[in-house]
Amino acid sequence: DSLESSGADTGSGDTGGGDKGTVVVGGQDFTESQVLAAIYQKVLENEGFTVQTKLVTTRDVYLPELSSGGVDIVPDYLAGITDYLNTEKNGPDAPLVSSNDVDKTLEALKPLAEAKGISILPPSDATDQNAFFVTQDFADQNSLTTLSDLAALGDPIKLGAPPDCEGRADCEGGLTKVYGLKITEIVPLDFASAQVKDAVKKGDVTMGETGTTDGTLAADGLVLLEDDKGIQPAQNLTPAVNADFLKANPDLEDIFNQLSAALTTDDLAQMNLKVDAERQKPEDVAQQFLQDKGLL
Amino acid sequence: MIRLVGVGKTYEDGTVAVQELDLDVQRGELVVLVGPSGCGKSTTLKMINRLIEPTSGQIFIDGQDVTQADPVQLRRGIGYVIQQIGLFPHQKVIRNVMTVPLLYGESTATARERARELLDLVGLDAATYGDRYPHQLSGGQRQRVGVARALAANPPVLLMDEPFGAVDPVVRIRLQDEFLKIQRELGKSVVLVTHDIDEAVRMGDRVAVFETGGRLAQFGTPAQLLAHPADEYVEDFVGATRGLRRLTVTPIDPEHLEPLDGVSTGDLGSAIDVDATLEEALAAMLRDDKPLVGVRSGAQFVGVLTPAGIHRQLRASLK
Amino acid sequence: MIRLVGVGKTYEDGTVAVQELDLDVQRGELVVLVGPSGCGKSTTLKMINRLIEPTSGQIFIDGQDVTQADPVQLRRGIGYVIQQIGLFPHQKVIRNVMTVPLLYGESTATARERARELLDLVGLDAATYGDRYPHQLSGGQRQRVGVARALAANPPVLLMDEPFGAVDPVVRIRLQDEFLKIQRELGKSVVLVTHDIDEAVRMGDRVAVFETGGRLAQFGTPAQLLAHPADEYVEDFVGATRGLRRLTVTPIDPEHLEPLDGVSTGDLGSAIDVDATLEEALAAMLRDDKPLVGVRSGAQFVGVLTPAGIHRQLRASLK
Amino acid sequence: MSAQAAEVAKCYLDNSWICGRYWSDYRPELTDATVQHLWITVVSVLVGLVAAVPLALLARRNPTVESLVVGGTTIIYTIPSLALFSLLLPFTGLSPTTVIIGLALYSLTILVRNVLAGLRAVPDEVVEAARGMGYSRVRLLTRVELPLALPIIMAGLRVAAVSTVALATIGAIVSYGGLGNLLLQAVGNQFKAQIFAASLLCILLAIALDLVLVGAQRLLTPWTRHAR
Amino acid sequence: MSAQAAEVAKCYLDNSWICGRYWSDYRPELTDATVQHLWITVVSVLVGLVAAVPLALLARRNPTVESLVVGGTTIIYTIPSLALFSLLLPFTGLSPTTVIIGLALYSLTILVRNVLAGLRAVPDEVVEAARGMGYSRVRLLTRVELPLALPIIMAGLRVAAVSTVALATIGAIVSYGGLGNLLLQAVGNQFKAQIFAASLLCILLAIALDLVLVGAQRLLTPWTRHAR
Ligand SMILES: Nc1ncnc2c1ncn2[C@@H]1O[C@H](COP(=O)(O)OP(=O)(O)OP(=O)(O)O)[C@@H](O)[C@H]1O
Ligand SMILES: Nc1ncnc2c1ncn2[C@@H]1O[C@H](COP(=O)(O)OP(=O)(O)OP(=O)(O)O)[C@@H](O)[C@H]1O
Ligand SMILES: [Mg+2]
Ligand SMILES: [Mg+2]
């Protein structure tokens, strides 16, 4: 039960490891984050911790808590947390320090995180980047697999994306400047929402924005175009841990490294699909995943 | 004018407030309901203007069954003084009195003029009290405003529930007199509730004496009541000293005066009119400290009354 | 016991309700405040228990300046009957009466017992009325509950603002008698407001007659007031028929009875006691329809009274 | 950077909360938004009031109606504004009507209860006196009951006004949110001076409305002033 | 697709609003969320009430305090819940306290006005009688004024309860939103059965609370039942 603090002690008897105290897993309250939080919870419970999961709406809410110890560990995204800490320290107009390069981004992040009392464990290969999709039919007709292919087509393009897309390097800015797409209009539609998918299916817009781990696209007859020029920053899954907590529990590092190593983008997409389409509970999906990977 | 036939009221909790009541009020007549506390006087009054619906019997006004009438139209023709006074706390005194004339569509100026007159009538100076709110008045002043309010519309029928209960005797007698004058002049039909048997005797053309439980014990003129109480209950209620009370209502009987012979005019003191009551005769004797009082008809002396003579006339009237 | 020295009250809007009032109430004395509507009686009463603060003068109870006292403690020793009755609408009748004993920390059972007694005392059957809410009572019944409530705590001092105004004369006389009995037995000091001069004369050890504007016109025993009104105003207020009213308070003077000689015992009717008042003598005569009444002291006849004799005694007492 | 850069105020560049230039540069926008916010709020609350009185009257006569009215308004109140506006959108489109209906429904919930409680607090004997004098229901209501219920109705009206000022910002989702429009934009692009200004105006608007209502209540209920 | 796919209920795959399987599969989550929603609401309203009474009492004695209290609560009401929770976060962290303080502050705004209006509606003569009999201020308040103000206070309490049920969902931003947590997730992944269930429970909760309060009012004010 990932939603309820009261459900925290459900798995504490899994091992004979004894009670090592309470851990608070934080995170945001969307499907993928729920699944990851559930995975973290199970792993920690397996280690003998009592776990509370607190999923909140925004990073603004949990990050200060992570720094102060109100939250101990968060499954976070590499570029996301980097950008957040960077703007917090250097102001909203500071140049971006995240990029599509995982190592460089991680290097930029570490000092920012340390200053906040946050330790960053090595990122997983699994990544949840923003991505753009079109209908499978449209892609087939024009043999499209990458954004460059689309640019080569030269057609005017209507884009369905959140309103802040305009000008952003990982959105309209990058698409026009890096790829040379001719974007004629940005129709304001929420990221990865049902509306944006409908709009693409109906042809109201040519292309919509979603995430790489969106598991429902195939079923809807939609397909992602590869970001072959790398305008998306590296949003690899990265455990962010309160530094004091990690210091007190150094053996956790290994355990989370194992977990990160086992996790793939496709796993995320599959797990999201199970939750979003089949309506399985995140904790069941997490349990299945951990068993399949032999991590429990 | 008003007729109650077999009227009864049993409250929801089973309290029988009024039972099998037959009563009639002629046009221009003032009928007083009197009786002990809780005997159903207010309940009876409120059934006439349908503030309370009777549980049995029928009530007619001008031959029309009130239960068939539109209550609003019905009540517009009936002035009502509520026992709890019930002034509008959000309106100034003058406005409270203007309220019914305005209801009838009179102009503000006319209504205000009328309200001023009526406030004066009930002994409240409109300039001093008109602009106050009710909570700035004394208990008796509030009650007088309530009476003025009910009179303002000049309705042909008036229901008054203990209208003078909270005022002192001087003001009360003034109000009673003023009210009687208006009533006689304008021929209003009035039902007045009081617990004051003196007021009943003084004001009522006929008096209905209620018994606890809402039974009508006797209904007649004050003189009948005092002279021939229907039963012990009425006799008790009218009072052990009812003989004395009769002084108030018994007129001098010119047939049975003692002759003037041998009485020097100096001994007569201030003579009284032959229309006066025995009470006034006795009061005059005491005031002048004389054992007799002259009675005159116009300028003409018609005889003298002595204490014994008064007693004799009183005893005669009781038969 | 209670002493008012130069007390005055001017309301915020400039109304002078009471001015320069000196008044004292002895321990165990019943003082009646009487006067026309709006003359400042309620205001005076409320200044004694500090519901209204005087704008001038001082008030002492048992020698202590009330303005120095804690108002809550002060009021706990003073029973109060408010003119507007002011029952607690959210409590049943019995609870309303229990409220003050409970305030003093008595047990519920004791308080309930006492409340039952008091309801009976004021003529309300506790079984019938105890479990009703105030709005289910008639006007007079509510007022009686208010009196019972004030008596419940058995306070040494009582302030009563028109406590019997809404009840019929039979009940009123019963209540007055019961109250006087309690008061005499328990030696309570009482200030009672009424507009009923008869009640004032009947109940008051001393009576304070107020004039409009809160001026004290006269302060004395009822007999003094009736016999020697201080001025025309008091004379008027006490009433044109005040001589007759005196019948009520004037005891028979055994010195001035007519002799028994030549009166057959059959003519004497039901004799009256020598302690009776002139009113009772006159009533007996009328009741028996005889022109004279025997007066006895114990089993012994001491004389007879005739109408003329009553008149003579009355006139004598006025001097 | 363009040639205008030199002119750009420091507080814009620093993204300060308090920025005098913002207030002067954006005066027209702020004024328009405030005016829109105000009229939408006022109209909504008035519509709510106009609906609340008859509903309260029906509820007073009939306990079944009371349960329905009270239950119904309860349901309305639990519908999130976003969902409510979405429900209305197909009928009223992107118009102020959408916002006003939504806000009026919310204020209705508050008002209907206070109107009901206010009417029930009118002293029985005053009502009886008025009925006895031949007041019709309508006149009784307008001349006696509503005036005497006013202090309690006003308490509800003030809560409704203040909460509507706050809720009106949500109108931004259909572009009729008054200061909410500015707020939404500013949150979107982290324009702190605008967030600050719009929030401040919102608060001031709420206080101003509340004061106006207090003033109106004083004027309308002069008899309460002398009491006690 | 996994072996479990065969078992997936049709209404999940269709994403229907009404889905019986959802109610049975998610019973524990629904129960937990409802319980959390309920206790957060109840505690918040109670805290609001406990704060409102002394504030109303102070305000009644003193017009300056009244303006301050009324002005202050007005300001609170115009602060969007998100901002209010953010303000509290540094002090109270990710705990129910954050939500409860926030919600209590909102309900305070409603309650303080109704408590004040209720106290002012107590008939003067009843208060005078009680004072005359030697009621202390505290006793006067608890035995006479508050009971007689109860119908009006309850009207406020009911608005506060209903609005708090609705507002409590916003607690989801700090993970203590009861049904709001489920709602937020479900809106995020378009889980219609969950949106429907959580919304329905929210409405039922609001109605249930309202009914409980109506029942409590009936029990607590028996004297009003016989009236008229
Ligand atoms: N709050 C007030 N503001 C201004 N004047 C007032 C106020 N209360 C009473 N008065 C005035 O003070 C005077 C005395 O009032 P009070 O209530 O003491 O009279 P009272 O003798 O008790 O009369 P009643 O027998 O009619 O009850 C009256 O003229 C009244 O109008
Ligand atoms: N709502 C009610 N429910 C039950 N009984 C009631 C109700 N109202 C009045 N009564 C009872 O009905 C009887 C008659 O009441 P009513 O008010 O008519 O008396 P009344 O003659 O006017 O008395 P008073 O002179 O004291 O005003 C009383 O015994 C009273 O207790
Ligand atoms: Mg009556
Ligand atoms: Mg008085």
Supply the DSSP string of B110-137, one letter for each residue.
HHHHHHHHHHHHTT--HHHHTTS-GGGS
User: Does one domain contain both C191 and C311?
Assistant: no
With a cut of 70, say whether residue A231 has pLDDT above it. Answer: yes
Evaluated on CA atoms D34, D37, D43, D49, the torsion sign reads negative
Residue E19 covered by a domain = no
Q: Whose CA is nearest to atom 20 of ligand 1?
A: C38
Ligand 1 binding pocket includes C43 (Cβ within 6 Å): yes
pLDDT in tens, A24-80: 999 988 889 999 999 999 999 999 999 999 998 888 889 999 999 999 999 999 999
| Residue B265: pLDDT over 80 | no
CA–CA separation, C192 vs E5, rounded Å?
A: 92
Chain B interface mutation, best of C13, C168, C201, C318, highest count of B Cβ atoms under 10 Å: C168
Q: How much of chain B exceeds pLDDT 70, in percent?
A: 94
> How far are the Cα atoms of B15, B32, C139, C194 from residue C199, in angstroms, in the given order?
32, 23, 20, 7
pLDDT of residue B318: 65
Of C219, C246, C273, which marks where a domain is finished? C246
What are A45's strand-pairing partners?
none
The Cβ of residue C16 has, within 10 Å, a number of other Cβ atoms equal to 14
Most informative mutation of B93, B122, B138 for ligand 1 (most atoms within 8 A of CB): B138
Domain containing D178 equals 35-220
Q: What is the mean pLDDT of residues B161-177?
A: 87
Q: Are strands C300-305 and C293-297 parallel, antiparallel or unpaired?
A: antiparallel
Closest atom, ligand 1, to C-alpha of C13:
4
Burial bucket for residue B105 (CB in 10 Å: 0-12, 13-18, 19+): exposed
Look at residue E3 and tell me if it is in a domain: no
Domain CATH for D100: 1.10.3720.10
* Residue nearest ligand 2's atom 16 by CA: B40
C164 and C305 co-located in one domain: no
Whether E and A touch (3+ CB pairs < 8 Å), yes or no? yes
Please give the share of chain C, as a percent, with pLDDT higher than 70: 95
Chain C hits for B311, CB-CB cut-off 8 Å, are 282, 285-286, 291, 307
Asked if residue E11 belongs to a domain, the reply is: no
Cα gap A67→A62, rounded to integer Å:
9
Amino acid B266: pLDDT: 67
CATH code, domain with B156: 3.40.50.300
pLDDT tens profile B46-67:
999 999 999 999 999 999 999 8
Q: Calculate how far, in angstroms, residue B42's C-alpha sits from the geometric centre of ligand 3.
A: 4
The residue whose CA is least distant from atom 27 of ligand 2 is C139
The residues pairing with A56 across neighbouring beta strands, listed in sequence order, are: A28
Centre of ligand 3 from the C-alpha of residue B193, in Å: 8
D66 inside domain: yes
Q: Would you call C62 helix, strand, or coil by DSSP? A: coil
> What is the pLDDT tens value at each position of chain D, 228 positions in all?
444 444 677 888 878 888 888 999 999 999 999 999 999 999 999 999 999 999 999 999 888 888 888 888 888 888 877 778 878 888 888 888 989 999 999 999 889 999 999 999 899 999 999 999 999 999 999 999 999 999 999 999 998 999 899 889 888 878 888 998 898 888 767 788 898 899 899 999 999 999 899 899 889 888 886 544
Q: pLDDT tens digits, residue range C35-86? A: 989 999 999 999 999 999 999 999 999 999 998 999 999 999 899 999 999 9
Same domain (yes/no): B228, B305: no
Per-residue pLDDT, D46: 96
CA atoms of E34 and E197, how far apart (whole Å): 11
Read off the pLDDT band of A159 (50, 70, 90): very high
The yes-or-no verdict on residue E1 having pLDDT over 60 is no
Cβ–Cβ of E94/A65 closer than 8 Å? yes
Confidence of residue A4 (pLDDT cuts 50, 70, 90): very low
Asked if pLDDT for residue A11 goes beyond 50, the answer is no
Q: What is the C163 CA–ligand 1 centroid distance (Å)?
A: 17
pTM to 2 decimal places: 0.84
What's the domain count of chain E?
A: 1
What is the Rg, in whole angstroms, of the alpha carbon atoms belonging to chain B? 22
Whether residue E207 lies within 8 A of chain D, CB to CB, comes out as: yes
Whole-complex ipTM:
0.82
Residue with tokens 């005769």: B281
- Where is mean pLDDT largest: B256-260, D41-45, E81-85? D41-45
DSSP 3-state of A275: helix
Same domain as B258, residue B164: no
For the stretch B231-250, pLDDT in tens is 988 887 876 555 666 676 67
For residues B242-270, give the mean pLDDT. 74
Query: Average pLDDT in the A196-207 region?
Result: 92
Query: Quick one: pLDDT at residue B158?
Result: 94
Is the minimum distance from the CB of C11 to ligand 1 under 6 angstroms? yes
pLDDT at D1: 42
CA distance E31 to chain A (A): 11
Domain contains D20: no
Give the number of other Cβ atoms within 10 Å of residue E13's Cβ: 13
Report the distance separating Cα C46 and Cα C48, nearest Å.
5
**For residues C143 and C165, is the Cβ–Cβ distance under 8 A?**
yes
Name the residue of chain E whose CA is nearest to B11's CA.
E226
Q: Which helix (H) or strand (E) holds B19?
A: strand B16-25
Q: What Cα–Cα distance (Å) separates residue D54 from each residue in D62, D130, E174?
A: 12, 20, 41
Instruction: Say how many domains are in chain B.
Output: 2
CATH of the domain at B280: 3.90.1280.20
Which of D133, D135, D145 should we substitute to test contact with B (largest number of B Cβ atoms within 10 Å)?
Answer: D133
Residue nearest to atom 8 of ligand 1 (CA): B136
Q: Same structural domain for residues C264 and C129?
A: no
Q: What is the predicted pLDDT for the residue at C309?
A: 83
Facing E124 at nearest CB: one of B12, B13, B135: B135
CB-hemisphere CA count at 13 Å for C312? 12
* CA B32 to chain centroid: 6
Share of chain E above pLDDT 70, in %: 95
Q: What is the mean pLDDT of residues E49-75?
A: 90
Q: What is the pLDDT of residue B239?
A: 66
Q: Are C318 and C227 in contact (CB under 8 A)?
A: yes
Q: Domain boundary residue among C195, C211, C246? A: C246
Q: Which of B246, B269, B304 is the C-terminal boundary of a domain?
A: B246
Q: In what order do the strands lie in the sheet with C293-297?
A: C272-273, C293-297, C300-305
* Chain segment E168-196, per-residue pLDDT in tens: 988 888 889 899 999 888 887 888 899 99
Nearest CB among E129, E134, E227 relative to C86 is that of E129
Centre of ligand 4 from the C-alpha of residue C33, in Å: 10
Each residue's pLDDT tens digit, A173-185: 899 999 999 999 9
Higher pLDDT, C15 or E7: C15
For E134, the closest of C76, C89, C135 (CB atoms) is C76
Residue D98 lies in a domain: yes
Q: Are residues B45 and B63 in the same domain?
A: yes
Same domain, C271 and C165: no
What is the C-alpha to C-alpha distance for residues E83 and E79, in angstroms, rounded to an integer?
A: 6
Contacts of B75 in chain D (CB under 8 A): 131-134
Is E108 inside any structural domain? Answer: yes
Segment A89-105 mean pLDDT = 87
Based on the fold, state whether residues B185 and B69 are members of the same structural domain. yes
Q: Which domain range does residue B152 map to?
A: 2-246
In this prediction, residue E82 carries a pLDDT of: 75
Query: What span, in angstroms and rounded, lies between the C-alpha atoms of E110 and E162?
Result: 11
Determine the pLDDT at residue C245: 66
Per-residue pLDDT reduced to its tens digit, C275-313: 888 877 887 777 777 778 888 888 788 888 888 888 888
Residue-wise pLDDT tens digits, C185-230: 889 999 999 988 878 888 899 999 999 888 999 999 988 887 788 9
Query: Does residue B161 share a domain with residue B176?
Result: yes
Looking at beta carbons, which residues of chain B come within 8 Å of D145? none
Atom number of ligand 1 nearest to Cα C35: 21
* Touching status, chains C and E (3+ beta-carbon pairs under 8 Å): yes
Residues of D in contact with A164 (CB under 8 A): 188-189
Whether residue C84 has its Cβ less than 6 Å from ligand 1: no
CB contact under 8 A, A92 and D188: no
Q: Which residues of E touch A55 (CB under 8 A)?
A: 175, 181
